[in-house]
């Protein structure tokens, strides 16, 4: 893939700024332009080296070969439509929302006359928020989920696959529905597990919690408004994941009562668990 000319990033929070930094540090793009309604976010992103230029005007996206929409899930569709209206015809637009089916259904046909859209989701992040917490290392070795449909231009899929690789990520192609089912299990469910664990603990227990409980607490302190949006837009898949989890809890309870071997369940999880958050060698295709 030839070096991209200009990449636009709409929304320069943690993920948007992280992608901007990686694009610049790895020389994937000649110029990275940011757009955000928060002037302080733009200033912070420029200060850390995530952007070459930035402001609040979507018109800055006109020369972009690729635009990344990195706003909260509820704002993706309206923001993408506004961005596409000023982008040059045939350029590529993607997003980074952690739910895909609703967003892809809303944008797939709507944007086709103007730009080439492909849903995206880098499986990366941290407890930090805002551009100042951005770190390209968050992307290294992580899956970049892409959700093409029958409408998606194959050239756009190829280009986004190469962009993901140049960012140091592992591109994985999934249908939007498969994406939401899988991400519900490994991202949305763990958040709700942490919420439930903190809710179930007494105040006295919380006061003596060790590192394991502290890790759950960090997850449970995630931004409430963002998680409300995620849970609303992926409700069905999350409910299925909760059902699977409930069945595993039932098995553990039966094992504690001596009805099935507890060691088998513990060893199975130990074998299957990824190390330090690194995914298994063979991501789904």
pLDDT at 260: 83
In degrees rounded to 5, what are phi and psi of residue 124? -150, 155
Q: CA angle 164-169-173, nearest 5°?
A: 65
Residues 229 and 203 sit within 8 Å (Cβ to Cβ) = no
Helix, strand, coil tally for the chain in percent (to 5): 50, 15, 35
Q: How far apart are CA 41 and CA 38, in angstroms?
A: 5
pLDDT at 128: 80
Helix axes 262-272, 235-256, angle to 10 degrees: 140
pLDDT at 279: 52
Residue 284 lies in a domain: no
Residue 186 lies in a domain: yes
**CATH number assigned to the domain comprising residue 121:** 3.40.50.720
pLDDT at 3: 86
Q: What are the 10-residue block averages of pLDDT along the chain, 285 residues in total?
A: 91 98 97 97 98 97 98 98 97 98 96 95 89 95 97 97 97 98 98 97 95 94 96 98 97 92 93 70 52
Question: Quick one: 139 and 233 in the same domain?
Answer: no
Q: How far apart are CA 191 and CA 265, in angstroms?
A: 22
pLDDT at 275: 72
Domain boundary among 150, 174, 198: 174
Residues near 28 by beta carbon (within 8 Å), at least 6 away in sequence = 3, 4, 7, 22, 163, 166, 167
Return contacts of 194-202, CB within 8 angstroms, 24+ apart: 194/219, 194/220, 195/220
**What size, in residues, is the chain?**
285
pLDDT at 276: 63
Q: How far apart are CA 209 and CA 178, in angstroms?
A: 36
pLDDT at 87: 97
Range of the domain at 61: 4-174
Domain boundary among 174, 190, 214: 174
Residues 182 and 284 sit within 8 Å (Cβ to Cβ) = yes
Residue 21 lies in a domain: yes
Question: Quick one: 148 and 203 in the same domain?
Answer: no
């Amino acid at each position: 893939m030839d070096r991209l000319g200009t990449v636009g990033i709409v929304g320069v929070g943690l993920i948007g700024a992280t992608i901007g930094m990686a694009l610049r540090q790895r020389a994937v793009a000649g110029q990275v332009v940011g757009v955000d309604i928060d002037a302080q976010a733009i200033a912070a992103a420029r200060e850390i080296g995530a952007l070459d230029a930035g402001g609040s005007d979507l018109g800055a996206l006109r020369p972009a070969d690729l635009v990344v929409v990195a706003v909260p899930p509820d704002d993706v569709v309206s923001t993408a439509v506004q961005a596409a209206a000023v982008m040059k015809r045939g350029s590529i637009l993607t997003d980074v929302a952690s739910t895909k089916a609703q967003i892809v259904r809303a944008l797939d046909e709507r944007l086709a006359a103007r730009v080439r859209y492909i849903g995206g989701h880098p499986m990366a992040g941290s407890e930090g928020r805002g551009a100042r917490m951005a770190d390209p290392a968050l992307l290294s070795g992580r899956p970049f989920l892409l959700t093409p449909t029958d409408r998606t231009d194959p050239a756009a899929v190829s280009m986004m696959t190469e962009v993901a690789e140049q960012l140091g990520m592992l591109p994985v192609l999934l249908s939007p529905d498969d994406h939401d089912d899988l991400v519900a299990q490994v991202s949305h469910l763990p958040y709700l597990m942490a919420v439930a664990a903190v809710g179930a603990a007494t105040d006295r227990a919380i006061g003596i919690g060790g590192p394991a409980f502290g890790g759950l607490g960090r997850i449970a302190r995630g931004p409430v408004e963002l998680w409300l949006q995620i849970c609303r837009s992926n409700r069905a898949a999350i409910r299925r994941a909760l059902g699977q989890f409930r069945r595993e809890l039932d098995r553990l309870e039966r094992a504690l009562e001596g009805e099935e071997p507890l060691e088998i369940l513990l060893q199975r999880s130990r074998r299957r668990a990824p190390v330090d958050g690194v995914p298994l060698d063979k991501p789904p295709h």
